[in-house]
């Protein structure tokens, strides 16, 4: 089943740390370095204060093929839940009853 979707990870880490992380975890998608925080600010996940936390909130966005955001998930306690949430949105977008 095709979802017409592209996965991209974004964080403030530099390109070399992204390369290493991608290789160590065998990730099938690219990671983008947002060292200046412009993308994080644009997506509303940059923290104005950190109090020892990472400078951006962990978030997952599903953008459809025409550029409309169909889902935004920011659960930082249970980040793995993002996977289930994304699969539900992809299921809805593809018009199928269940994603295998």
pLDDT of residue 98: 56
Write out pLDDT tens, residues 18-38: 899 899 989 888 888 888 889
Is pLDDT above 80 for 14? yes
C-alpha–C-alpha distance, residues 40 and 19, integer Å: 20
- Is residue 76 situated within a structural domain? yes
Q: What is the DSSP letter of 70?
A: E
As a whole number, mean pLDDT of residues 83-94 equals 87
**Of residues 43 and 6, which shows the higher confidence score?**
43
Model confidence, pTM: 0.70
Q: Which domain holds residue 52?
A: 8-94
Write out pLDDT tens, residues 55-66: 777 788 888 888
Tally of domains in the chain: 1
- Is residue 1 situated within a structural domain? no
- Is residue 2 situated within a structural domain? no
C-alpha–C-alpha distance, residues 7 and 28, integer Å: 8
Neighbours of 40 (CB within 10 A): 19
């Amino acid at each position: 089943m095709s979802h017409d979707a592209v996965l991209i990870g974004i964080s403030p880490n530099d390109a070399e740390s992204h390369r290493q992380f991608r290789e160590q975890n065998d990730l099938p998608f690219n990671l983008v370095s947002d060292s200046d925080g412009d993308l994080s600010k644009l997506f509303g996940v940059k923290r104005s204060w950190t109090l020892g936390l990472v400078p951006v909130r962990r978030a997952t966005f599903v953008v459809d093929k025409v550029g409309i955001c169909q889902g935004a998930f920011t659960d930082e306690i249970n980040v793995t839940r993002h996977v289930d949430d994304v699969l539900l949105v992809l299921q809805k977008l593809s018009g199928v009853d269940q994603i295998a």
